[in-house]
Amino acid sequence: MKLKVCGMKQENNILDVADLEPNYMGFIFYEKSLRNFKEIIPALPEGIEKIGVFVNASIDFIVSKIEEHNLNGVQLHGNESPEFCEQLKEYDILIIKVFSMKNQFDFKVLEPYQDVCDYYLFDTKGKEPGGNGYTFNWNLLKKYTYNKPYFLSGGIGMENIDALLLFLKRPESRLCCTLDVNSKFESSPAFKDITLLKDFKYKLTKHGY
């Protein structure tokens, strides 16, 4: 199981989180977000991939951030079309397409994206495109019939780790490759609590994840 810590912003906090060696770190390039990133990403240890998070941004804007920050991947949180994703594939980066859900979801909408993205990310449908701080109904993933690995996001924190561990033992978690955490591990917007993240990683490792 891989770990992505999203919504990074302040340099010292970025470096502290990097010391925990998550597989991915997410940087949000969306003006309306409290975690909108405007700085320079400091040098990260080898093995940590930098993911840029975008919401209905233009190709030109995304490419400018890929080049400026040497991003390893993009996470698309808006209404980006399969054709849009396909255009980004030529930049040799990971394409993560986000789909938001709550108590119901039509998985047929994933079909056109099968060949144009590397991963899906399932997040909670809420007021904002992401970072709403609560989980969706993970039972919905029993209806996920595709073979593409996915990131699980939306309100994951220490208070629901027991439910998460139960989910990870169930068949519908078979293709869950990465846990994406954000607001539940913050002491203030964009500032991650290192102790909480350490505890989370410890509990996952203790249970074989």
Whole-number pLDDT of residue 129:
59
Closest CA to 142 of 177, 107, 110: 107
Q: Return phi, psi of residue 100, to 5°.
A: -100, 140
Mean of the per-residue pLDDT values of the chain: 95
Whole-number pLDDT of residue 131:
54
Question: Is the pTM higher than 0.85?
Answer: yes
Whole-number pLDDT of residue 126:
63
Q: What is the pLDDT of residues 18-48, one digit of tens each?
A: 999 999 999 999 999 999 999 999 999 999 9
Q: What is the pLDDT of residues 103-143, one digit of tens each?
A: 889 999 999 999 999 999 999 976 665 555 679 999 999 99
Work out the pLDDT band at 205, boundaries 50, 70, 90.
Answer: very high
Residue at token pair 């869950």: 176
Q: What is the pLDDT of residues 69-111, one digit of tens each?
A: 999 999 999 999 999 999 999 999 999 999 999 888 999 999 9
**Rounded to the nearest 5 degrees, what angle is found at the Cα of 87, between the Cα atoms of 83 and 90?**
145
Q: What is the pLDDT of residues 172-199, one digit of tens each?
A: 999 999 999 999 999 999 999 999 999 9
> How many Å apart are CA 70 and CA 51, to the nearest integer?
10
